Amino acid sequence: MNTKESLLSYWHILYPQEPVEMLHTFLSKIKNLYAPANASTDADWYKDVVVYSLYVDLFNNDFNGLTSKLDYLQNLGVSCLWLLPILDSPMRDAGFDIRNYDHIRTDLLGTNSAESKETQEEVFGHFLEEAHHRKLKVIFDIAVNHCSDEHPLFKEARKSENNPYRDYFIWSKNTNLYKEARLLFKGIEDSNWESNGDGWHYFHRFFNFQPDWNYRNPEVLFQMSENLLYWQRLGVDGFRADAIPYLWKEEGTSCENLSNTHILVKFFRTVLDYIKPGTLLLAEACQKPNEVVKYLGDGDECHAAYHFPLMPMMFKAIAAESAAPVKETLSPAVTPEIPESAQWFTFLRVHDELSLELVYVSEEDRKFIHDNYCHQPEWDFRVGEGISARLSELMQRNPDKIALAYSLMLTLTGTPVVYYGDEFGKLNDEQYYKEQIKLTGKDDTRFLVRGRIDWQQLEKDLKDKENFRSRIFKTISAMLDARRSLKVFGRGTTVFINTPDYLLAYLRETEEEKVLVINNLSSQQQTFRHPFTDNNLIVLYVNGFQMDTDRNEMRFDPHGFGWFLIL
């Protein structure tokens, strides 16, 4: 089907009672405003990048500050910047509570006063131009499920039940509606309904100041599509679609992963492809892999999705000194095949907690990981369903464990995400945590894993070869440098090699490249017989490794590893 036929089919599924002329009017509008482009020759660029996730303000104040650090990021070895929320917001949820979808926060533009769109486009456009000049792609977060209660349309909607924008959100006097929808912020919120003070309540899946959009109203779908198109036109390379499993609500269901939610995502994808093919749509879907893959569709929904279950299993593998958790998670029984054009995104840490939701870990796994990594009681998040701590804290500031964790993430499968500061071992930020509690009124321990970078101090630390930050930075940057020249890590197949359980070894292979990776998960030195004696091995990167050529034995220090190119 062509674009128009696809959108018509989605329309009839979502809005069978609505006149199709509404869709035709929308399509005419976007065709006039956003000229369709030819197909990109770099449409699957997201398979070959290393992503670096950052908050613009916490990284270096504003877009001018971020632009000044683009050389640092390029030299580090990353090739795609994921900007955590940058859109206008009261900042009660780190920017995921969006007040205006077509405005960047004024403080990120280098001013605290309101600016025109022309100024916004000049400042942000300059940043994009400089990033693209350095071959850095740029994506950013957009919350499509909910907004801030300060959004102009919600402020209008809550005025009265007769307000024309009332139906943009979900209202009820009966708070038993959607009672099967689980409470996502257990321990922080006590209901999915918030009183409006007049007998009416509005529905929310996250914080009570984040009302959910009502996608049963087609005007909401049109407006959100135009939000995406506006930023696409300015040159953004993609979007991280926040909280997409919850878009469509139906009474008597969990309100998650409903079939019409997938139709909404297909609509977004089709509109973006119509204007500029290759604009990434990245699914943030905290679900089991067999549910997550549905958001990739047949290559017609999101281009990529996070592999949420792999993240905690990498931590479990290191703590248990066992390859089994990773092997089982990546087996076909747990991780289904994905479309050829699609990609998994992998990560160790991001801006959220180390999530242990029972959606994708067992109660046994949750307890094991929590017991082994929640080293301080204040790190606990959502009553045992997560741990709020930076990677260095989780690994008790052990450089070899940190490096091993990165070896797993950078070589196992898909596109890796580096969280800002982890490249130099950034620690939990107690001061920032306390500041945010005062600002938001919420004791959200995820603020521990955020915080600012003190560049002046960092530059001093990086010059000291014995400094913890310097040691971590040298290791991570060298690993990224070793990875950047090879496409096999982002595109190759993964075949596990039969080894003792304390070793996790695998081949990553394409038609052009073949790489052997061996990770010693053990806290003891281990010896392994060279598995490919008929082939020459070129060292790509090793840590805690020695080769006994006389015995054809590989010796790995505790938590040591090696990456080898096979000729």
| 509 is a catalytic site residue | no
DSSP 80-108: EEEE---EE---SSTT-S-SEEEEE-GGG
Tokens 């995820």 — which residue?
446
Tokens coding 128: 């994009």
Beta strands in 492-552 (DSSP E): 493-496, 503-509, 514-520, 526-529, 537-548
The residue annotated as part of the active site, out of 48, 97, 242, 357, is 242
DSSP helix/strand/coil, 467: coil
Query: Among 212, 222, 164, 170, which residue's Cα sits nearest to residue 11?
Result: 222
Residue 284 falls in the annotated catalytic set: yes
Residues found in the chain: 567
Cβ density class 430-454: b for 16+ within 10 Å, e for less: eebbeebeeebebebbbbbbbbbbe
Taking a C-beta distance cutoff of 8 angstroms, is the pair 74, 43 a contact?
no
**Phi, psi (degrees; rounded to nearest 5) at 195:** -70, 140
Give Cα separations from 29 to 8, 33, 118, 175, 183 (angstroms): 16, 6, 21, 38, 39
The one-letter amino acid at 488 = V
Q: Which of 273, 284, 400, 429 is catalytic?
A: 284
Residue position matching structure tokens 């005025």: 159
How far apart are alpha carbons 525 and 558 in whole angstroms?
A: 5
Query: What is the C-alpha to C-alpha distance for residues 294 and 309, in angstroms, rounded to an integer?
Result: 15
Q: Write out the catalytic residue numbers.
A: 242, 284
